[in-house]
Structure 1
Amino acid sequence: MCSVTDQPPTLLVCINRSASVYETFIGNGTLCVNTLCNSQQALSNLFGGKTSQEERFAAGHWESGVTGAPLLEGAKLALDCKVTQSVSVGTHDILFCQVVDIKHQDASDALLYFGRQYHHLPGAAAAV
């Protein structure tokens, strides 16, 4: 996921066409990018593995966003989007997604994953 433009607010999401959520994203034309808090590491592990969609969504508390996409309650940041364009490249599609609603929590620490391990970014540092 990365930013494309701020007018209109648009980001891109790259997804393998063999991913279990691919047909859902394409069929619904919506998705929500939920950025996790440090306390949500277990949920990150579920979504990052081969766990079924049913098990993944049973683990968190969810609400429907403006687009109808699932927003994780307590997420650090939720970007509720409608898919406006899709481009196929190799095994993946690049989804261009217009952000239609944003929810965020300033006080919580963000969960980051790099170098094959989890790290957290303190809430105060995220506001800099």
Structure 2
Amino acid sequence: MIINGPNLNLLGKREPNIYGSLTFTEFFDKIKTKYPNVQLEYYQSNIEGELIDKLHHVGFSFDGIILNAGAYTHTSIGIGDAIKGIETPVVEVHISNTFNREEFRHQSFISPNAKGVILGFGLQSYELAIQSF
């Protein structure tokens, strides 16, 4: 399960110098073709509570969760606690190198509860996360 947080629905339009020009739907279609033996699902929400609800819903039945919580990474204790409360391993993913950006992006409430963290490789970060399961 790939779960994306706020503003990631704007990929392909939002700051292409940081996030690239491909929409996530276009990218998701490519990785589904590249990994035909992996059943991939995708969910995106700009609402923190909906992300927590989705983690609760899939966190006991999927083999892995790839989570890019966007800005909630740096603000949401609730998402961090949700990851701590589920059984499915979570890999935290970021398209950009968050340590190469504003200081507030250096803190993550997800990392302490994640299986691992992959950041800075563009959309390929998601592929590396798939390979980690």
User: TM class, shorter-chain normalised?
Assistant: under 0.3
Between Structure 1 and Structure 2, the one with more helix by share is: 2
Between Structure 1 and Structure 2, the one with more strand by share is: 1
Larger Rg: 1
TM, length-normalised to structure 2 = 0.27
